Amino acid sequence: MLEQKAQDSADLVQLLTENQYEVDILAPGDASLEELRDMQLDCLFADLSLVESGDGGLLQEIRNDAELESVPVILLSADSSAEGQISALHAGANICIARPYNNEELLARLEEQLRLWKLRLELREQLEINQALLRRLQDDLALGQQVQKSFLPPSHLRTSNFSQDARLIPSGDLSGDYYDYRLITPERLVIFLADVSGHGVASALLAGRIKAFFDENFRRTHRPRLFLEQLNQVLIDLGEHYHIATAVCLHIDVVETTMVYANAGHRTLYWLDTESDKYTLLPATGPALGMFDEFDITEVTHGFLPGRNRLVSYTDGLVEFKTRSDGWTTEDDFRKELLLPKRSMPLTEYFEELLEGSRQRTRSGEWDDDVSLLITDF
């Protein structure tokens, strides 16, 4: 308690001690932040006249001190006017009580300040706990990102029969997209692309399970229909996780000159003839994975002439987003403005053109969904 004269505090000291409060009186000229910290204050009473006489700097120091800034300060004043109350708050007080005060009212307001102070301390402690948890979560998410990136194969493939560029760009910390490929032999390539519904940890975990299945079963992908049927059963057996996944599996054989594919509710793929204006759509041939126990999907086989084929596959995020005009883009726009007009570009330039052309059309300059793009020349 800071007072001008100790004897002026007698009534207040008596009132507080009679109500089981421990009271210390500190002369204003001798008060320092170090002494106040050592006292382990629960509340500080001070006379407004101290502020008016130029000692208000101590209260400002209290408010700027990490240990004391939340301690309740009650100023006692002979001025009951609105201006006096405002001066008290400017000086750093929580409340101002005008003299002569009512004992019951003073005790009630003291109890209220102590309750609020205790609540602030609890909130501060909880905030520190939450911040520590947040830092741990951010560290875990950063590690999760590294793990997810390690799932992906090299982004470039260059052989005598195949050239391929691929990239996955997550919209958040973790992604529900997944792509993979394998050279079964130098002449046979399998391509797999999946898009799990939703975002966040659950989608990323499901994408991880799909990756594990691909690693274990990629040698069966020469029959894409059977491969996707088995993967559908894996997702069904996981139980009610409220996520589905679209996926497409293709097997390309440049010796047999055949491309076999099955598409489980995934985006339409584009198969371009690089030496003409012709292109072929490879649409869905069955439902998304994880929806039905009875999974009915068709397998389609196409013949091709080697050396003039370009396959473009991607996930929804590349073609579904709000534009700068606040409208929605469509796959037709993407096809007419980017995919077909730029088709004669070399593979890497074409790949970057599709990505950047799509990104620049988004409302914010960034996609709101995960984006995967995989382009294969063969």
Please spell the DSSP secondary structure of 93-145, one letter per residue.
-SEEEESSPPHHHHHHHHHHHHHHHHHHHHHHHHHHHHHHHHHHHHHHHHHHH
**Mean pLDDT of the chain, nearest integer:** 89
Please state, in angstroms and rounded to a whole number, the distance separating the CA atoms of residues 53 and 366: 59
Q: Is residue 112's pLDDT more than 70? A: yes
Q: Which CATH number fits domain 153-377: 3.90.950.20, 3.60.40.10, 1.10.260.40, 3.30.1330.40?
A: 3.60.40.10
What is the arithmetic mean of pLDDT over 166-187?
A: 93
C-beta atoms surrounding 276 within 10 Å = 8
Nearest to 374 by CA among 125, 219, 178, 119: 178
100 Cβ contact partners less than 8 Å away, ≥ 6 residues apart: none
CA 249 to chain CA centroid, nearest Å: 30
pLDDT at residue 4 in the model: 45
What is the sign of the dihedral through the CA atoms of 128, 130, 131 and 135? Answer: positive
C-beta atoms surrounding 355 within 10 Å = 19
What is the arithmetic mean of pLDDT over 150-157?
A: 93
Q: Is residue 7's pLDDT more than 50? A: no
Question: Are β-strands 95-98 and 279-282 bridged in parallel, bridged antiparallel, or unpaired?
Answer: unpaired
pLDDT classification of 181: cutoffs 50, 70, 90: very high
Please state, in angstroms and rounded to a whole number, the distance separating the CA atoms of residues 96 and 88: 6
pLDDT at residue 8 in the model: 56
Residue 339 or 82, more confident: 339
Sequence spans of domains, the chain? 6-124, 153-377
CA 202 to chain CA centroid, nearest Å: 13
Instruction: Count the alpha carbons within 13 Å of 28 in the hemisphere toward its beta carbon.
Output: 21
What is the arithmetic mean of pLDDT over 307-332?
A: 92
Global confidence as pTM: 0.69
What is the arithmetic mean of pLDDT over 99-117?
A: 92
Q: What is the CATH number of domain 6-124?
A: 3.40.50.2300
Q: Which tens digit of pLDDT belongs to each residue from 59-92?
A: 778 888 888 888 999 988 877 778 877 877 887 8
